[in-house]
Structure 1
Amino acid sequence: MRLARMGSMFPTRLSFLRSLIRRLAAEKVTVTRAVWQMDAGGFGHAVYSLRLGGHEYALVAVSSDLPADQRTDRVIATAWDSAFVLYDGIPEAAEIDRIVATAPRQEAARFTERDLILSRANKSLRLFAHVTQALQEGRQPDPEMIRNVGYLMRTTAVYGNGKFGIADRHLIAQRPGLEGPFAAEMLTVWLIRHFTHDLAEHVGGGRLDRALKRHLGIGNATGLGMAPFLVTHPVLLNNWMQARETALARVRALPRLTSAQQDRLHLLADRVAAHLREWQVPDPAHHARIVALRGDWETACNALDLSGLRPLDAAIHRVRAASLDVQELMAGLILEPFGDLVDDLAATMGDPFGPLCAPLPDTVELRARIARDFRWALAPDYDAPEACGQFWYVSAAKQEPRLGRRFAEEGADQETPLDIGRRVKALYQDLEGENAPLSDFLSRHPDHALAAERVAMAGRYPYGEIRDNLIAEDCLPIDMLRCKLAFFGAAKFDPKSDRWTRITLCQGAPLADELGPGADDWWLPVFAS
Structure 2
Amino acid sequence: MITPAAIQTSLRGDNALPLRPAEQVMHLERLGAMHQSRLSFMRSLVRRIMRERWQIEPVRLDLDADGYGTVIYEVQAPQGLYSFVLFSNYLAPEVRNDRVIATQWDLTMALVEGRVDDIYLEKLRQNVPKQEAGRVDARVFVLSRANRSARNFDYVVDQLAKGEQPDVERIARVGYLYRTTAVYGSGKLGMADWEKVRTQYTDFARPFAAEMFVCLMLRNFSLLQAEHIARHRSPESFQPMKPEIKRYFGIGNSTGLGMAPYLVNHPLLINRWVEMRELALARIRVLGDISPALREQLHRLIDRCEQHTRETVTEDQWQTGNNQQVLKDLAALRSKASEGFDDWDSLILWSEEHCSLQGQEMLVSILLELYPTLVDDLEDYHCAEEFLDLDPLMPLQTLKEVIETRYAWALAIDFSVEGTRETCWYRSEEKMEPRLGSVADAEAKKKQMALGVGYAVRKCYDQLCDYVAEHPDHTTARFMVARPKMRGIVRRIQSMNRCVYGDIQANLLDRNVLPMHLLRCKLAFFGVSKFDPRSRLWVRNTMFQGAPLLDDIGSRFGDDWFMPLAPQQ
Contact 1:52 1:176 in 2 (8 A): no
CA shift in 2, pair 1:143/1:438, >3 Å = same
Match of 1:465 in 2: 503
The equivalent position to 1:445 in structure 2, one of 477, 483, 494, is 483
User: Which of 349, 353, 369 is residue 317 of structure 1 equivalent to?
Assistant: 349
1:461, distance to aligned residue in structure 2 (A): 1.5
1:165-195 Cα distance to aligned partner (Å, 9 max, x none): 0111111213433111111111111111111
> Is 1:180–2:206 an aligned residue pair?
yes
List per-residue Cα deviations over 1:466-498 (Å, max 9, x = no partner). 010011011111100000000000110111111
Q: Is the 8 A contact 2:389 2:494 kept in 1?
A: no
**What is the 5 A alignment of 1:68-467?**
68-174=93-199, 175-205=201-231, 206-304=239-337, 309=342, 311-321=343-353, 322-352=355-385, 354-355=387-388, 358=391, 361-407=394-440, 410-432=443-465, 433=469, 434-435=471-472, 436-467=474-505
Deviates more, 1:351-360 or 1:190-199: 351-360
**Unmatched 5+ residue regions in structure 2?**
1-25, 232-238
Structure 2 Cα separation of the partners of residues 390 and 456 of structure 1 = 27
Q: CA deviation at 1:384?
A: 2.7
The CA distance in 1 between the partners of 2:386 and 2:404, in whole Å, is 28
Q: Aligned equivalents of 1:212 and 1:104: distance in 2?
A: 30
What letter is aligned with 2:509? I
How far does residue 450 in structure 1 lie from its aligned partner after superposition?
1.5
Range 345-354 or range 447-456, more displaced: 345-354
Query: C-alpha separation between the residues in 1 aligned to 2:321 and 2:335?
Result: 22
Give the conservation status (yes or no) of the 8 Å contact 1:118–1:160: yes
TM-score in terms of structure 2 length = 0.90
CA distance in 1, matches of 2:520, 2:131: 26
For the residues of structure 2 that align with 1:476 and 1:288, how far apart are their CA atoms? 16
Cα offset, 1:513, TM superposition: 1.8
Partner of 2:566: 527
- Cα distance, 1:355–1:349 mapped onto 2, change above 3 Å: farther
CA distance in 2, matches of 1:248, 1:503: 26
Contact in 1 for aligned 2:80/2:203 (Cα 8 Å) = no
Distance (whole Å) between structure 1 residues aligned to residue 318 and residue 518 of structure 2: 18
One-letter amino acid matched to 1:39: D
1:472–1:201 distance in 2 versus 1, CA, 3 Å: same
Partner SS, residue 73 of structure 1: coil
2:5 matched residue in structure 1: none
| Residues 307 and 514 (structure 1), Cα distance of their counterparts in 2 relative to 1, 3 Å cut | farther
| Separation (CA, whole Å) in 1 of partners of 2:223 and 2:415 | 51
Structure 2 match to 1:507: 545
Deviations 1:362-416 (A, max 9, x none): 3221111111110111122223331011011111111111111223674213211
AA partner of residue 452 (structure 1) = V
The alignment partner of 1:91 has SS state of coil
Aligned equivalents of 2:510, 2:541: Cα separation in 1: 26
Q: Which amino acid aligns with 2:326?
A: L
Partners of 1:509 and 1:519 within 8 A in 2: no
Q: Counterpart of 2:50 in structure 1: which amino acid? A: A
Taking a change above 3 Å as real, the CA distance of residues 356 and 452 of structure 1, as seen in their structure-2 partners, is: closer
Deviation at 1:124, TM superposition (A): 0.3
- Superposed CA deviations along residues 78-116 of structure 1, whole A, max 9, x for unmatched, are 111100101111211222222223211000100011111
SS of 2:419's equivalent? helix
Percent of aligned pairs sharing the same letter: 38
SS of alignment partner, residue 293 of structure 1: helix
**CA distance in 2: counterparts of 1:254 and 1:162, whole angstroms:** 44
Report the TM-score when normalising by structure 1. Answer: 0.97
* SS in structure 2 of the partner of residue 295 of structure 1: helix
Please tell me the residue identity of whatever aligns with 2:88: S
Shift of 1:13: 0.2
How many angstroms does 1:261 deviate by? 2.0
The 8 Å contact of residues 392 and 477 in structure 2, kept in 1 or not, is answered as no
SS at match of 2:550: coil
DSSP-derived class of the 2:141 partner: strand
- Per the TM alignment, residue 236 of structure 1 is displaced from its structure 2 partner at its CA by 0.6
Alignment: residue pair count: 528
**Aligned-residue offset at 1:419:** 0.6
Given the superposition, is the C-alpha separation of residues 341 and 360 from structure 1 closer, same or farther in structure 2, using an over 3 Å criterion?
farther
Between the aligned partners of 2:360 and 2:246, the Cα distance in structure 1 is 32
Structure 1 unaligned blocks of 5 or more = none
Q: Root-mean-square deviation (CA), in Å?
A: 1.6
Offset at residue 356 of structure 1 (A): 6.4
Residue 507 of structure 2 is aligned to residue 474 of structure 1:
no
What are the Cα deviations for residues 257-291 of structure 1, in whole angstroms up to 9, with x where unaligned? Answer: 22222222221111111101101101122112212
In terms of mean alpha carbon deviation, does 511-520 or 62-71 score higher?
Answer: 511-520
Distance 1:357 1:505, change over 3 A: farther
Q: Tell me the alpha carbon deviations over residues 485-520 of structure 1, each in whole angstroms, 9 at most, x when there is no partner.
A: 000001101111111101100000011122343341
Aligned position for 1:498: 536
Larger CA deviation: 496-505 vs 138-147: 138-147
Indicate conservation of the 8 Å contact 2:388/2:491, yes or no. Answer: no
Separation in 2, partners of 1:477, 1:409: 22
Per-residue Cα deviation, 1:201-224 (whole angstroms, up to 9, x for no partner): 111114111111101101100000
